[in-house]
Structures are given as structure tokens and as C-alpha cells.
């Protein structure tokens, strides 16, 4: 057996111990590789998407690297600590420290090599699937699989250096110890080292953060969010290192609570596990919170989509004043672009007349009933049936449904002396919210024809406008239509909101695709990073359980002799496992709930969207995953300690 074979056997024959670790690091490599596949994709033509893809993936990869570095370092030192007895024996048998270092280095590199190879293999296999999802999200025509050395080189380079850093630092960790310490293992269970002031500080910081959230629900202030994040961050740290131990200490002083059948063992063992894992709990909590949040925000986007559609029922809207020289040219161009994209559409043209209302002495826009109905047919909303003299108001924004009174209103269109009776508001939005500046009224066709007189002080031509409403069933695909018009609108409209052009153009599909792409990216990054994290945290718990198995087995053997029944044994196991699984979990949940409260308050100001339902679903889904993971691990653990 050569030295290399020895290292190889050490890894391969311990594969059961390394299983969860492998799974987590392979998955991490895989996700990283898939990200880089997208990052270097040559076929994303759209400059905007290209920026998003590159920038977003870069950030995601950096987060992933930092996290993986932390995870690898933590697991490696735990692995080595668990094997310190073995290293002690090797040194005792006369192995040089130099050789031991080489052994550890070789083993880590074998681990790294396997993880990278398998991870890239799976990553490449799943790339096509990933691209399909991305294609759907970004509404790209095609996003083919490609072969390039770049993503491979990046992944191998990054992870190889990660593993080298890890193996060197773990060697340092072992080198400092004396043989006798290695043989005896490390001094464990020096507990009760919490500081009371730190414990109280932890509670105080968390409480302050939560109170500030409640406060900002009523008085929104974006700058508070920074303060809240910092408070919660530091508070969480102290919560794990001190506060929770302090709480347990208080409980343990109350003998009537503590000296109660299996609780005695469960509490004592639980507090040791918490103390050993405080830092890991902290990291898991923070990253889970971020993951929940990003997923939650993106999920809330679905409700935003529905609402957006409701607010912008017409896919492309173009209005033209009488003095617009480009009218025909623009409409021709839009139709052509829609045809080029292969999108079917219906175009409804509105001839709008302007008059003055006798009631308010303000200018109003008058729209023909039949034209509205032809749009209504296309949009599949109820038709209107107006008799002579009857009229309906066109709502401008969603709030109009509530604020405009539904009573009848008698008025006369002054110039043409046409009397109309406004019967309320048409209960569907038909035009984009900012498209029409004045009040718009739908009237009967006959009444419409009676309007012959021009607006006071204007010619007959000047007192009319034209609206063009394109209804495109696949409105999400219109993002390449009218991009130059959109550019003009963006440049001229500026911040003032006053339209200097003789036309107005809006394409909700285009605006939507930008918001959507950004959100989708957040979702993907959030989901995958969350998945990596869940696996890693789970693998860590599994590993810790596995290394403590011998000790735990012995302990349970003693307990069984002392007459602990199987049911009580399960309860004791629960007492040990539940904190490890659900403590970071629970705190992350509480954090997320408060963050959602804050976001909800923020969203209400921004877009009048309620995200409560989505958030609830996200939290629920994560809980289900976590609970099933817990049962899986518990099942394995109990099976191990019982044989």
C-alpha cells in the first residue's frame, strides 16, 4: 500500500461519513457550474438581459463561493477533529508531521477532485434544463446548450483553489496539537460560559429590531431598514452564543420544570449541542432568512403579474393628437413589428371627440360605444349597452372604482348641446392608467354622431384625437415591439410627467419584461442558494450526529439499562434533534415574518400589492421540507443507536 493508496482508502472507506458532505459539496459545484454556464452564454443577444445575466450570476457566484468556503472550512475542521484520535495513533506509530500534512492534503484533494468532477458532470447534464427554465422566464426564443471551455475553467479554478485553501488551513489546525492531545481527543463540554449582559443584549437587540419593524409599518422610513438589519444581525449572534444558554440556565434552575422525566436529559444534551453549534446556527439563520426573503419576494411577483395585467388591459396603446405627423407611420411600423414577431393582434381605433361638460366646465373626451364594445370583445370583458342620452365614465386607475360616486349625473355637452346622463363608471379598466389626461366618457353612437360642433375656440379637426389599442393575446412577448417609440417617450417624458409630443405610446409588455427579468433572476439565485444552504446545513447536522454516534450509543445503552422505554428514548432524541433542526429555522421564520411585514408596508406604498398570501405559502413550503428532512434524519439516527 503506497502512501497515496492509504489516503485514497481513508476517503473511500469512510464514504458513509463523507456521504452528506459529498452531497452538499457536489451540489454546490453543480450550482456554481450552471450559473457560470449562463454567465458565459454566447447566445443572449439582448444587451439588457446580457447585463442582468452576467451581473446577477456573478453576484450569485460570489455569495456561493463565500458560503461554500465557510461550509468546507467548518466541515473539514469538524472532520479532522473527529479523526484526531486516528491522527494521534499515526503520529504515535512514527509518522512524521510532514507526512501527516501530506496525508491530509492528499485526502482533501481527493475529496475536492471527486466533488468537482461529479459536480461538473451533473451541472452539465442539468444545464439544458436550467436554460429551458431561464428561457421561459426571460421569454427568449432559444437558449441552446453550448460547449465552451470558459465555464469549465472557471469552476475548476475556483473550487480547486477553495479546496487547496481548505486543506492548507486544516493542516495548520492539526499541526498545533501535541500527540497526547490528539490521542485523548479535544476537551469537550466546557459549557455554561455565557455572559449575562451579552444574553440580555441579544434579547434587547432582537426586540428593538422587531419593534422598529412594527413602528415602520405605520411610519415608513427606508433608512430605518439599515438599522433594523444591523440590529437583527448582531442580535441573532448574541442570541445563539449567550441568550439561549441563559434561557436554558433559567429553566434549569426551576427544578419543577427541569427535573421532569426525560426533560432532564433532553435539556442538558440540547444545551450542549446548541453551545457547540452556535456559530453554525447563526450563519444558517441569516442565510435562510435571506433565502426565504428572496423566494418570498419573487413569489409575490405572481400576484403582481395578475394585477399588472388588470391595470394595463391593452397590450399596446398609442394615442395621437390632430397635429401628429407620424400617426400613420407609427401605426404601420407597430403593425409590422407585431407581424415580424409572429404575434397575432387586434387593432381597435377610437375616434375621440372633445367637448366641454356643462357641470364642471372642464374638457372631456367622448368615446363611441361601438368602439369600446369592439375592444371589449377582444378583451373578453362585458359589453355595454347604452341608450340614447346615457353615458358611462371610463375609469382611469383602480382607485376610481371606489372614489367616483356611482350616482347618476346630468350634464350637457355644451358646444353641441347634447344632454347626457352619466350612470356611473364602467367597471373595467380599458386604457392604461396615464394615457388619458382628461375625463373620458362613453356615449351612445347616435349621441356621438350628434356632436358636430368643435371645442370652444378650436377648429373641428383640432377638437378630436385618435386612440389606437392593440390587443395582443400573448402580451408578454411584445417586448421587442415599439422599442424606439418607447425610447422617445422615456427621453421626452423625463421626470416632469408632461408629454411634449403630439402622441403618447405605452407598451406594458416591455415594461413588464424588465421587472420580470430582474425578479426571476432573484428567484433563481435565491432558490438555488437556499437549496445549497439547506443541503449543507443538513449535511452538517448529519455529520455531527455521525461523529458523536459512538458516544451517544453508549449513553443510550446506559439509559436503556436504567429503564428508559422506547417512547421516552424517541422523546430524548427529539429533544436533541429538534433544536438543531428547528432553532435556526424558527428564528429565520420569525425574522422573515417581520421582514415581510416591513416589505408589505413598503410594497403598499409602491404598488398596492398584497404579498401576505404568497409569503405564507413560501414559509409553509419551507417548513414542510424541513419537517420531512427532520424525520428522515431522526429515522436514520434512531436506527443507528438501536443496533
Minimum separation from the CB atom of position 260 to other proteins (A): 6
Which H or E run includes 453?
none
Dmax (CA) of the chain: 112
Minimum separation from the CB atom of position 284 to other proteins (A): 23
Q: Phi/psi zone of residue 530: left (φ > 0), alpha (ψ -120 to 50 degrees), beta?
A: alpha
In the complex with other proteins, the residue whose CB is nearer, 248 or 367, is 248
Q: Which stretch binds other proteins (CB under 8 A): 490-498, 523-531, 542-550, 553-561?
A: 553-561
User: Chain centroid to CA 531: how far?
Assistant: 12
Spatial distance between the Cα atoms of 314 and 317, rounded to a whole number of angstroms: 6
**Full 3-state SS string of 288-302:** HHHHHHHHHHHHHHH
Minimum separation from the CB atom of position 187 to other proteins (A): 8
- Residue 638 lies near other proteins (rule: CB under 8 A): no
In the complex with other proteins, the residue whose CB is nearer, 29 or 278, is 278
- Residue 262 lies near other proteins (rule: CB under 8 A): yes
Minimum separation from the CB atom of position 184 to other proteins (A): 12
Nearest CA to 297 out of 107, 481, 527 is that of: 527
Minimum separation from the CB atom of position 250 to other proteins (A): 16
Minimum separation from the CB atom of position 540 to other proteins (A): 21
Q: What is the rounded radius of gyration, in angstroms, for the C-alpha atoms of the chain?
A: 33
Site for other proteins in 562-591 (CB under 8 A): 562-568
Cell representation of residue 166? 481548505
Exposure string (b/e) for 268-306, b if CB count within 10 Å is 16 or more?
bbbbbbbbbbbebbbbbbbbbbbbbbbbbbbbbbebbee
- CB under 8 Å to 244, separation ≥6 — which residues? 274, 583
Binding-site member from 219, 255, 361, 461 for other proteins (CB under 8 A): 255
In the complex with other proteins, the residue whose CB is nearer, 549 or 604, is 549
Binding-site member from 244, 265, 284, 293 for other proteins (CB under 8 A): 265
Site for other proteins in 180-239 (CB under 8 A): 187-191
Residue 440: Cβ within 10 Å count: 23
Q: Which stretch binds other proteins (CB under 8 A): 78-86, 214-222, 264-272, 440-448?
A: 264-272
- Residue 2 lies near other proteins (rule: CB under 8 A): no
Q: Which stretch binds other proteins (CB under 8 A): 61-69, 157-165, 257-265, 392-400?
A: 257-265
- Residue 550 lies near other proteins (rule: CB under 8 A): no
- Residue 500 lies near other proteins (rule: CB under 8 A): no
The vertex-120 CA angle with 119 and 121, nearest 5°, equals 90
In the complex with other proteins, the residue whose CB is nearer, 205 or 265, is 265
In the complex with other proteins, the residue whose CB is nearer, 187 or 494, is 187
- Residue 548 lies near other proteins (rule: CB under 8 A): no
- Total residues at interface with other proteins (CB under 8 A): 30
Which H or E run includes 393?
strand 390-393
Asked whether the beta carbons of 439 and 393 are under 8 A apart, the reply is yes
Spatial distance between the Cα atoms of 39 and 521, rounded to a whole number of angstroms: 12
In the complex with other proteins, the residue whose CB is nearer, 220 or 564, is 564
Q: Which stretch binds other proteins (CB under 8 A): 133-141, 261-269, 286-294, 509-517?
A: 261-269
Q: Which stretch binds other proteins (CB under 8 A): 230-238, 305-313, 555-563, 635-643?
A: 555-563
Binding-site member from 495, 500, 561, 605 for other proteins (CB under 8 A): 561
- Residue 642 lies near other proteins (rule: CB under 8 A): no
Spatial distance between the Cα atoms of 579 and 203, rounded to a whole number of angstroms: 18
Minimum separation from the CB atom of position 100 to other proteins (A): 28
Cell representation of residue 323? 397635429
Minimum separation from the CB atom of position 568 to other proteins (A): 7
Q: Which stretch binds other proteins (CB under 8 A): 52-60, 215-223, 319-327, 559-567?
A: 559-567
In the complex with other proteins, the residue whose CB is nearer, 268 or 609, is 268
Q: How far is CA 101 from CA 98, 180, 246, 513, 610, in A?
A: 5, 18, 40, 54, 57
In the complex with other proteins, the residue whose CB is nearer, 174 or 266, is 266
In the complex with other proteins, the residue whose CB is nearer, 180 or 383, is 180
Binding-site member from 99, 358, 423, 555 for other proteins (CB under 8 A): 555
- Residue 276 lies near other proteins (rule: CB under 8 A): no
Cell representation of residue 410? 346630468
In the complex with other proteins, the residue whose CB is nearer, 380 or 561, is 561
List the 316-320 sheet strands across, edge first. Answer: 409-413, 418-425, 390-393, 439-443, 363-368, 346-356, 464-471, 316-320, 503-506
Q: How, if at all, do strands 464-471 and 316-320 pair?
A: antiparallel
Q: How, if at all, do strands 346-356 and 363-368 pair?
A: antiparallel
Q: Which stretch binds other proteins (CB under 8 A): 60-68, 299-307, 560-568, 603-611?
A: 560-568
- Residue 260 lies near other proteins (rule: CB under 8 A): yes
Minimum separation from the CB atom of position 285 to other proteins (A): 24
Minimum separation from the CB atom of position 269 to other proteins (A): 5
Nearest CA to 292 out of 526, 535, 539 is that of: 526
Exposure string (b/e) for 512-550, b if CB count within 10 Å is 16 or more?
bbeebbebbbbbbbbebbbebbbbbbbbbbbbbbbbbee
Q: Phi/psi zone of residue 497: left (φ > 0), alpha (ψ -120 to 50 degrees), beta?
A: left
Minimum separation from the CB atom of position 34 to other proteins (A): 43
Spatial distance between the Cα atoms of 630 and 625, rounded to a whole number of angstroms: 9
In the complex with other proteins, the residue whose CB is nearer, 254 or 405, is 254
Spatial distance between the Cα atoms of 11 and 3, rounded to a whole number of angstroms: 13
Asked whether the beta carbons of 384 and 426 are under 8 A apart, the reply is yes
In the complex with other proteins, the residue whose CB is nearer, 395 or 579, is 579
- Residue 332 lies near other proteins (rule: CB under 8 A): no
- Residue 269 lies near other proteins (rule: CB under 8 A): yes
Minimum separation from the CB atom of position 138 to other proteins (A): 54
Minimum separation from the CB atom of position 169 to other proteins (A): 29
Asked whether the beta carbons of 275 and 580 are under 8 A apart, the reply is no
Q: How, if at all, do strands 439-443 and 390-393 pair?
A: antiparallel
User: Chain centroid to CA 428: how far?
Assistant: 32
Question: By the criterion CB under 8 A, which residues form the site for other proteins?
Answer: 187-191, 255-256, 259-265, 268-269, 271-272, 554-555, 558, 560-568
Amino acid at each position: 500500500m503506497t502512501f497515496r493508496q492509504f489516503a485514497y482508502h481513508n476517503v473511500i472507506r469512510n464514504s458513509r461519513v463523507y456521504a452528506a458532505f459529498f452531497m452538499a459539496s457536489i451540489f454546490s459545484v453543480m450550482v456554481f457550474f450552471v450559473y457560470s454556464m449562463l454567465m458565459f452564454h454566447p447566445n443572449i443577444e439582448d444587451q439588457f438581459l446580457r447585463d442582468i445575466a452576467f451581473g446577477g450570476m456573478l453576484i450569485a457566484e460570489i455569495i456561493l463561493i463565500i458560503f461554500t468556503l465557510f461550509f468546507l472550512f467548518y466541515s473539514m475542521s469538524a472532520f479532522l477533529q473527529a479523526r484526531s484520535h486516528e491522527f494521534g495513533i499515526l503520529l504515535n506509530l512514527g509518522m512524521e508531521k510532514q507526512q501527516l500534512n501530506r496525508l491530509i492534503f492528499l485526502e482533501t484533494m481527493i475529496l475536492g477532485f471527486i466533488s468537482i468532477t461529479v459536480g461538473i458532470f451533473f451541472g452539465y447534464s442539468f444545464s439544458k434544463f436550467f436554460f429551458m427554465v431561464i428561457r421561459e422566464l426571460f421569454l427568449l426564443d432559444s437558449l441552446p446548450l453550448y460547449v465552451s471551455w470558459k465555464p469549465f475553467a472557471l469552476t475548476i479554478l475556483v473550487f480547486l483553489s477553495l479546496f487547496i485553501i481548505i486543506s492548507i488551513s486544516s493542516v495548520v489546525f492539526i499541526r498545533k496539537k501535541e500527540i497526547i492531545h490528539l490521542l485523548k481527543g479535544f476537551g469537550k463540554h466546557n459549557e455554561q460560559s455565557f455572559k449575562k449582559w451579552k444574553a440580555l443584549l441579544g434579547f434587547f437587540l432582537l426586540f428593538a429590531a422587531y419593534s422598529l419593524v412594527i413602528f415602520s409599518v405605520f411610519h415608513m422610513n427606508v433608512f430605518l431598514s439599515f438599522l433594523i438589519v444591523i440590529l437583527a444581525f448582531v442580535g441573532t449572534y448574541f442570541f445563539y452564543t449567550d441568550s439561549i444558554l441563559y434561557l436554558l440556565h433559567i429553566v434549569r434552575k426551576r427544578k419543577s420544570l427541569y427535573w421532569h422525566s426525560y426533560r432532564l436529559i433532553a435539556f442538558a444534551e440540547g444545551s450542549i449541542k446548541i453551545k457547540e453549534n452556535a456559530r453554525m446556527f447563526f450563519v444558517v439563520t441569516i442565510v435562510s432568512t435571506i433565502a426565504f426573503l428572496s423566494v418570498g419576494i419573487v413569489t409575490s411577483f405572481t400576484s403582481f403579474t395578475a394585477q399588472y395585467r388588470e391595470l394595463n388591459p391593452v397590450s399596446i396603446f398609442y394615442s395621437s393628437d390632430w397635429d401628429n405627423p407620424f400617426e400613420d407611420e407609427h401605426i404601420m411600423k407597430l403593425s409590422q413589428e407585431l407581424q415580424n414577431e409572429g404575434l397575432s393582434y387586434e387593432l381597435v381605433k377610437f375616434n375621440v371627440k372633445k367637448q366641454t361638460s356643462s357641470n364642471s366646465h372642464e374638457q372631456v373626451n367622448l368615446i363611441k360605444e361601438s368602439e369600446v364594445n369592439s375592444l371589449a370583445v377582444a378583451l373578453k370583458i362585458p359589453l355595454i349597452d347604452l341608450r340614447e342620452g346615457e353615458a358611462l365614465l371610463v375609469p382611469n386607475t383602480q382607485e376610481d372604482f371606489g372614489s367616483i360616486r356611482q350616482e347618476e349625473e346630468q350634464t350637457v355637452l355644451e358646444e353641441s348641446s347634447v344632454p347626457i346622463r352619466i350612470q356611473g363608471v364602467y367597471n373595467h379598466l380599458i386604457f392604461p392608467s396615464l394615457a388619458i389626461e382628461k375625463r373620458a366618457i362613453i356615449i351612445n353612437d347616435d349621441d356621438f354622431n350628434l356632436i358636430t360642433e368643435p371645442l370652444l375656440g378650436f377648429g373641428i379637426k383640432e377638437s378630436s384625437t385618435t386612440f389606437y389599442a392593440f390587443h395582443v393575446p400573448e402580451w408578454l412577448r411584445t417586448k421587442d415591439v415599439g422599442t424606439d417609440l418607447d425610447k422617445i417617450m422615456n427621453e421626452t417624458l423625463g421626470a416632469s410627467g408632461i408629454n411634449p409630443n403630439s402622441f403618447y405610446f405605452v407598451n406594458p409588455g416591455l415594461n413588464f419584461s424588465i421587472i420580470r427579468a430582474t425578479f426571476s433572476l432573484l428567484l433563481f439565485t435565491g432558490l438555488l442558494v437556499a437549496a445549497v444552504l439547506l443541503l449543507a446545513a443538513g449535511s452538517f447536522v448529519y455529520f455531527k450526529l455521525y461523529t458523536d454516534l459512538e458516544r451517544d450509543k453508549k449513553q443510550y445503552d446506559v439509559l436503556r439499562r436504567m429503564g428508559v422505554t422506547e417512547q421516552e428514548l424517541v422523546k430524548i432524541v427529539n429533544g436533541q434533534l429538534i433544536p438543531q433542526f428547528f432553532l435556526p429555522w424558527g428564528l429565520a421564520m420569525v425574522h422573515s415574518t417581520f421582514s415581510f411585514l416591513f416589505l408589505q408596508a413598503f410594497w403598499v406604498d409602491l404598488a398596492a400589492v398584497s404579498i401576505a398570501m404568497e409569503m405564507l405559502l413560501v414559509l409553509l413550503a419551507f417548513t414542510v421540507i424541513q419537517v420531512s428532512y427532520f424525520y428522515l434524519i431522526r429515522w436514520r439516527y434512531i436506527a443507528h443507536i438501536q443496533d
